[in-house]
Amino acid sequence: MNEKTAKSVSKFLSLVLRHSPETIGLKLDENGWADVEELIIKCNKNGSQNQMTAELLDYVVENNDKKRFAFNEDKTKIRASQGHSISVELNLKEAEPSEFLYHGTVGKFMESIKLEGLQKMSRQHVHLSKDKETAIKVGSRRGAPQILTVRSGVMYRDGFKFYLSENNVWLTAEVPAKYIEFKS
């Protein structure tokens, strides 16, 4: 499998399974699942760059660098494991985080984050990483990365809820500024 093809399919799936299924006339159920057969047909009718096949979908689910997508048990349905902007009920597992988690961002957002804390912006949750390396990758998508250390242990003990997605991204509703260390 050509890695360039796999990446382009992953991007297209992120678009339709996290943000705008309507671009290809797809409907997700309330838990974010799309019917696999319907997805394949609609990708092929509506502008996927690559010819979508069950094999290609299998490959992307298995080999995706961040395991962004998952099948249900009998592989009739597929969904994104996190990262949605549309409202879906993922039945995320609540979990106790380690003492610190990390968030990668860029300098231009810093003033606002100092005032408002980390907000979920257009997504359903604030995304946090368990190590700095991952946070650096997340921040680098937008420019020179700035890494924020989140006092997740203290937040948790103060009653904030944390969730761990299927693909091991830490999620929470918001991080008030007082729980953020601005020097990493």
Interaction site with ligand HQG (CB under 6 A): 14, 66, 68, 83, 105, 109, 112-113, 116, 118-119, 121-123, 127, 138, 142, 169
Distances (CA, A) of 13 to 10, 103, 133, 146, 165: 5, 24, 25, 28, 18
**Can you say whether residue 98 is alpha, beta or left, with left for phi > 0 and alpha for psi between -120 and 50 degrees?**
beta
Of 68 and 151, the one with the shorter C-beta distance to ligand HQG is 68
Distance CA 15, CA 22 (A): 10
To ligand HQG, the closest distance from the beta carbon of 53 in angstroms equals 23
Of 105 and 152, the one with the shorter C-beta distance to ligand HQG is 105
Return the half-sphere exposure (C-beta side, CA atoms, 13 A cut-off) of residue 8: 12
To ligand HQG, the closest distance from the beta carbon of 173 in angstroms equals 12
To ligand HQG, the closest distance from the beta carbon of 14 in angstroms equals 6
To ligand HQG, the closest distance from the beta carbon of 35 in angstroms equals 22
Contact criterion met (CB below 8 Å) for 176 and 151? no
The three-class DSSP label of residue 123 is coil
Of 41 and 109, the one with the shorter C-beta distance to ligand HQG is 109
Of 56 and 147, the one with the shorter C-beta distance to ligand HQG is 147
